[in-house]
Amino acid sequence: MNVKIYDTTLRDGNQAIGIGLSLRDKLEVAQKLDSLGVHYIEGGWPNPTNEIDTRFYPEVAKLNLKAKISAFGSTKRPGTAIEEDPFITDIVNSSASVATIFGKSWDLHVTDVIRCSLEENLSMIHESVRFLKARKDEVIYDAEHFFDGYLNNPDYAISSLLAAQEAGADCIVLCDTNGGLLPGDFRRIFLDVKNRITTPLGLHLHNDTGCAEANSIYGVELGAVHVQGTINGLGERCGNANLCTIIPALQLKLGIPLISEMQMASLTETAIYVADIANTSFNIRAPYVGEAAFSHKAGAHVDGVRKVRRAFEHIHPEEVGNKRNFVISDQAGSGTILEKLKDIRPDLDKKDPIVQNLLGRIKQMESDGYHFETADGSFQLIVHEELGDFAKPFTIKGFRVIEEKIGDNPPTSEATIKVIDGDHEVHTAAEGDGPVDALSNALYKAVGSIYPVMKDVTLEDFKVRVLEGSQGTAAKVRVLIESSDGFERWGTIGVSTNIIEASWIALLDSIKYKLLKEKMKEKNGL
């Protein structure tokens, strides 16, 4: 069975409350999705009012991804000539090889939302699909609100699909846009559509009843060959169908090949990566990829899983890149960390005291709120410090950050810092857009005067997440920083109840990692 995974994290996922991906965010996530092996990546809706989505397509084309890139949009507007319709023109002008357009299947939307006749809507669907089919490699038709439309007027809902089919759509996607569909109605409706439509069928389901993943998986069993969803189920209201649940369920449970074993083993990392980029809290109880998915407390479960793992685990956690965790034991799973260690010191055995010390340290830091999936710079520093081959390159004697606001004038931020390197002491100050920016400028300025290689390092991204909101302004925060020297990008992390201190920790790690890289180059004669 040839099933394709269509990811809409960058478009539908980006419509979730509190999420606003930048162009750089979108391009980085697209690369991660491509590495995971999804077949389609929907970048957004290109149009003059959405600069980020419009710019995404020419930029992503430069990355030469394996996944097919799809541009999203609508059927043409009522009363508009197809050649002059801006929705259609924007899709055609994008560099995407695939066009995905939505049209109305619910007669209520036709008469009360876009306010045209039922016949004109069918003509709009047919004309839009046919026009794009002549100009793109592939056209996917999303039947918006299809299931609600079917429940209200099944004959008209089916006629909307027939219009797309007759125009040459490569796939017709049945959408539960309101997310209210239960499995019983889903099965009945899907089977009726399958008996009346010959075009390959896909699914785009929202999760307002908590059934999006179950219905998506069930739909594939019933004959769907195309599944749309998002990483971590991001999306409007209660979210979209979660691909982090659907992909392993289809491949590991139903035996439907989707991605390679190596790609499947990167699923957990991908889920955490996207959550960090989107600056959302990661669901530790998420199926397959959540931290709690393979965690066991003391008692019968721990004893049982040690004897026969499959007695208490439905799959091996390593298959999806997760790890087993005995919550109150010193035998917590360490597969991911050990795999990373192999790249640094392949000769190390897991019983080596260095490895045990490192695992203990990482475990403690993770319990304090650290996550290293997008902070490999910080992880590398910890490893090399434990190995004893990287000493502290300089000492910070102290720093001060001053915030001042006078009257109605904008606030000013200034940071001063003292850095000691041997007998050399640097005392410098810098201003910035806010206290963290001022501190960053002062730190890079001071260290740069000692280590000229720092002049090429720039701060590319800065994210803050509150880890425990119930503590109010005293809550612990996690700061993630992404830096670049023009050749490589790396992430570092800091955690504290003080946002300045958390930022400081991450900033220091960023600088130390750059110096570690330079030392490794010298060691390897590069």
Identity (one letter) of the amino acid at 209?
T
- Give pLDDT, residue 486: 84
**CA–CA separation, 263 vs 317, rounded Å?**
14
The structure tokens 């219009």 sit at 163
Instruction: Provide the 3-class DSSP secondary structure of residue 323.
Output: coil
**CA–CA separation, 461 vs 276, rounded Å?**
11
Beta bridge partners of 201: 172
DSSP structure string for 478-515: EEEEEEE-SS-EEEEEEEESSHHHHHHHHHHHHHHHHH
Any residues with CB less than 8 A from the CB of 228 and at least 6 apart, and which? 6, 7, 8, 42, 173, 202, 203, 204, 205, 240, 241
**From its phi and psi, is residue 481 left (phi > 0), alpha (psi between -120 and 50) or beta?**
beta
Q: For residue 199, which of 170, 167, 229 has the smallest C-alpha distance? A: 170
Any residues with CB less than 8 A from the CB of 418 and at least 6 apart, and which? 396, 397, 398, 399, 425, 426, 427, 446
**CA–CA separation, 492 vs 411, rounded Å?**
28
Going from the C-alpha of 524 to that of each of 233, 373, 516, the distances in angstroms are 44, 26, 12
The vertex-131 CA angle with 125 and 133, nearest 5°, equals 95
Helix axes 376-387, 353-367, angle to 10 degrees: 140
Query: Would you say 234 and 6 are in contact if contact means Cβ atoms under 8 Å apart?
Result: no
Query: Would you say 515 and 457 are in contact if contact means Cβ atoms under 8 Å apart?
Result: no
Query: Would you say 278 and 234 are in contact if contact means Cβ atoms under 8 Å apart?
Result: yes
The structure tokens 């710079």 sit at 377
Instruction: Provide the 3-class DSSP secondary structure of residue 460.
Output: strand
Strands 477-484 and 68-74, bridge-based pairing:
unpaired
Any residues with CB less than 8 A from the CB of 248 and at least 6 apart, and which? 264, 267, 288, 315, 319, 320
The structure tokens 């299947």 sit at 105
Structure tokens at 318: 């390593």
Q: For residue 511, which of 419, 404, 409, 429 has the smallest C-alpha distance? A: 419
- Check residue 69 and report its DSSP letter: E
Query: Would you say 250 and 267 are in contact if contact means Cβ atoms under 8 Å apart?
Result: no
Any residues with CB less than 8 A from the CB of 452 and at least 6 apart, and which? none
Phi, psi angle pair for 460, to nearest 5°:
-95, -35
Any residues with CB less than 8 A from the CB of 344 and at least 6 apart, and which? 380, 383, 384, 387
Any residues with CB less than 8 A from the CB of 61 and at least 6 apart, and which? 69, 95
Tens-binned pLDDT, residue by residue, of the chain (526 aa): 899 999 999 999 999 999 999 999 999 999 999 999 999 999 999 998 999 999 999 999 999 999 999 999 999 999 999 999 999 999 999 999 999 999 999 999 999 999 999 999 999 999 999 999 999 999 999 999 999 999 999 999 999 999 999 999 999 999 999 999 999 999 999 999 999 999 999 999 999 999 999 999 999 999 999 999 999 999 999 999 999 999 999 999 999 999 999 999 999 999 999 999 999 988 989 999 998 888 765 445 445 555 556 667 889 999 999 987 654 333 344 444 555 666 677 777 767 788 788 888 888 888 888 888 778 899 899 989 888 888 888 889 889 999 998 888 889 999 999 998 887 889 999 999 999 899 999 998 999 988 899 888 988 889 998 886 555 555 789 999 999 998 888 999 999 999 999 999 999 999 999 999 998 888 776 5
**CA–CA separation, 458 vs 69, rounded Å?**
30
Going from the C-alpha of 10 to that of each of 31, 101, 125, 142, 180, the distances in angstroms are 12, 16, 25, 17, 23
Report the 10 Å Cβ neighbour count for 143: 30
The vertex-227 CA angle with 223 and 231, nearest 5°, equals 150
Q: For residue 5, which of 144, 202, 161 has the smallest C-alpha distance? A: 202
Instruction: Provide the 3-class DSSP secondary structure of residue 125.
Output: helix
- Give pLDDT, residue 366: 82
Domains of the chain listed by start with CATH number: 4-278 (3.20.20.70), 295-366 (no CATH), 395-523 (3.30.160.270)
